[in-house]
Each structure stands twice: as structure tokens, then as C-alpha cells.
Amino acid sequence: MIQFQYKYPGFKIKTARKVKSWLAIVARGEKKKIRTLMYVFVNDEELLQINRNSLKHDYYTDIITFPYSYDPIETEIFISVDRVADHALKYKVRADEEMARILVHGLLHMCGYSDKSKIKKTEMTGREDYWIKKLKKLMDFT
């Protein structure tokens, strides 16, 4: 089950059904089963509080993943809509494409990918790029 919970006023993924289908395709492609994949969309301040309280980090971030089980996948993934919007401007990409990157990034963590070293980050970014190309075929991201 893939769910989106919106705690950010006015934000909603317009093509949620297609995006959820794509995330399921990603999981199957990575040879993983999903039991519960919950994305919670929040603002910067809420994610900062989660970061402080849960991880003892005092900085803004775009995503925090709480893994409960890797096989099958059970997780809550919190995403700052504010950070995603800022990153879209910074990297000169559409906001929906940057959101897709963050969505798949969280799922790839649950599939065993890491971004804790330069080599691992390069590998993870490569998988993100691969899956975003698949999404572009499913949707109009051109």
C-alpha cells in the first residue's frame, strides 16, 4: 500500500495515482515488495522539528526516512515541500520533477541504497536518474 498524507496546506500531487503506480514499478524493479510506503508532506519547520527530535540534527533537510522493515518495505517518509521547491529552483528543474527525485530517493533508501559516501551517492543518483526516465515515459515531464 502506497499512501500520501498531506500536512502542507495547498499542496497535493496532482497525478497521485500515476506516481503511486510508478513507485510500485520502482519497487518491483528493485526486487522489493511494499507493505506500507507512507509519504508525509510537511513544511520546513515541521521537518526541522522531526530532525531535531528524532535524529538530534539541528538543520533543515528535504527528506527523512523512518524504516520499520526492509523486507517487505514498511516505512514513513517525511518530505519538506519547502526544501523540494528550493532545490527545484537551485537545480533549475521543474518542481514536480524534483519531487519525483525525492520520492524515489526515499524508496531507494528502503531498497538498500545509501548516499553516505561519494561512491554510494553516485550509484544512488544513477538509480534515481534511471527511474525518473521511466517516469517521464509514463507522464509528460518533457
Q: Where are the domains of the chain?
A: 2-138
Residue 136: predicted pLDDT: 85
Grid cell at residue 113? 541504497
Alpha helices for 4-117 (secondary structure H): 16-29, 44-50, 81-91, 95-110
pLDDT tens, position by position, 26-40 = 999 999 999 999 999
**pLDDT, average across residues 91-116:** 96
Residue 140: predicted pLDDT: 61
pLDDT at 142 over 60: no
What angle separates helix 95-110 from helix 118-138, to the nearest 10 degrees?
120
Beta carbons within 10 angstroms of residue 8's beta carbon? 17
Residue range 2-138 forms a domain whose CATH class is alpha beta
Closest to 22 in 3D by CA, of 115, 129, 103: 103
Beta carbons within 10 angstroms of residue 56's beta carbon? 7
Q: Please state the pTM of the whole predicted model.
A: 0.94
pLDDT at 119 over 80: yes
% of residues, the chain, pLDDT over 70 = 98
**pLDDT, average across residues 82-95:** 97
